[in-house]
């Protein structure tokens, strides 16, 4: 989420739109209510009973708490965020051992990332994307996953404001976008969530269709 195109990151696109400028500005202003200081409780709970191994992409990783939680369990994880300040923050934490961070746009990824990942782990990226761009999110996720790759999503269904971000998400929208290319393996309302989100999130475990 950075307007500074002089970044050395090979993933930084040559020009970012206004939404990218807004994200970077919010990080610089400290206006980041999504940054809770620790990994998402539904992810922490999942990792106690389900192994996530191999290569993992976390889009919209912010300060990387979910990334480090995954890496601490043995996964090789890349956290991606469009905001330079988010990546700087993520890199400031002590490494869990198997993670790295890249600044870049999920919608403009290099061809070398296609089919690279065993998992995509989603938390507060999808809901921050305007609904008209969510088809692009699905395209990107489908492209980066290996055949039969897995997707774990923590969807924030009904945030406090209609204007966003985050923007409202429904089961119907998720099914319409994901079902054609991703088999639903499991779905549940998480028992533990960040304060204010209890009962307002939906977890799904999916597998890319061959």
d(CA 154, CA 41): 10
- Give exposure, 72-87, as e/b (b: 16+ Cβ within 10 Å): bbebbbbbbbbbbbbb
Tell me if 30 is assigned to some domain. yes
Tell me if 61 is assigned to some domain. yes
Tell me if 6 is assigned to some domain. no
Query: Which pLDDT score is estimated for 180?
Result: 97
d(CA 118, CA 151): 9
Chunked into runs of 10 residues, the chain (210 residues) has average pLDDT values of 32 39 82 87 96 96 97 97 95 95 95 97 93 96 97 89 77 97 97 90 96
Tell me if 185 is assigned to some domain. yes
Query: Which pLDDT score is estimated for 179?
Result: 98
**Residue-number span of the structural domain to which 59 is assigned:** 18-208
Q: Which two tokens stand for residue 136?
A: 């692009």
CB atoms within 10 A of CB 191: 10
Tell me if 143 is assigned to some domain. yes
Query: Which pLDDT score is estimated for 30?
Result: 84
CATH number of the domain enclosing 183? 3.40.50.150
- CB-based contact 12:39 (threshold 8 Å): no
Tell me if 8 is assigned to some domain. no
Query: Which pLDDT score is estimated for 20?
Result: 41
Tell me if 13 is assigned to some domain. no
- CB-based contact 110:10 (threshold 8 Å): yes
Residues 6+ apart with CB under 8 A from 83: 1, 2, 20, 23, 24, 26, 27, 103
Cis peptide before 166 (omega within 30 of 0): yes
d(CA 16, CA 174): 27
Query: Which pLDDT score is estimated for 61?
Result: 96
Number of domains in the chain: 1
């Amino acid at each position: 989420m950075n307007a500074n195109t002089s970044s050395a990151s090979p993933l930084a696109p040559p020009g970012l739109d206004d939404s990218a400028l807004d994200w970077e500005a919010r990080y610089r202003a400290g206006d980041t209510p999504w940054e809770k200081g620790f990994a998402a409780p539904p992810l922490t709970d999942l990792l106690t009973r389900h192994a996530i191994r191999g290569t993992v992409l976390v889009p919209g990783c912010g300060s990387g708490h979910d990334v480090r939680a995954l890496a601490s369990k043995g996964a090789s994880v890349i956290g991606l965020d469009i905001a330079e300040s988010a990546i700087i923050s993520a890199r400031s934490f002590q490494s869990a051992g198997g993670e790295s961070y890249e600044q870049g746009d999920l919608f403009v990824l290099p061809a070398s990332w296609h089919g690279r990942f065993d998992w995509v782990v989603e938390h507060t990226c999808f809901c921050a994307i305007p609904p008209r761009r969510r088809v692009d999110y699905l395209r990107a996720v489908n492209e980066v996953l290996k055949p039969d790759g897995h997707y774990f999503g923590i969807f924030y269904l009904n945030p406090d404001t209609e204007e966003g971000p985050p923007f409202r998400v429904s089961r119907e929208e998720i099914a319409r976008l994901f079902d054609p290319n991703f088999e639903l393996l499991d779905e549940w309302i998480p028992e533990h969530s960040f304060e204010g989100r209890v009962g307002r999130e939906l977890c799904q475990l999916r597998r890319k269709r061959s």
